[in-house]
Amino acid sequence: MHLFSPSLSPETSRQVVDSVSQALYYNSLKPSRPATIWWGGLVGLWLRLYCSVLQ
């Protein structure tokens, strides 16, 4: 299952970043370690994928 396709528009990727950062923000209000690790991994994976698409 692919969460992100290489043909993401800038608008879509901005929405993804917004939703992820919102989730990280709300998660930091009620810190739970497994969820933080999960979000960190998701963000890292997405950034790596996004950078590889841009190159």
DSSP state letters, 19-35: HHHHHHHHHHHS--HHH
pTM over 0.85? The answer is: no
What is the arithmetic mean of pLDDT over 21-37?
Answer: 71
Q: 31-48: per-residue pLDDT in tens? A: 666 767 777 888 888 888
pLDDT cut 90: percent of the chain above it: 0
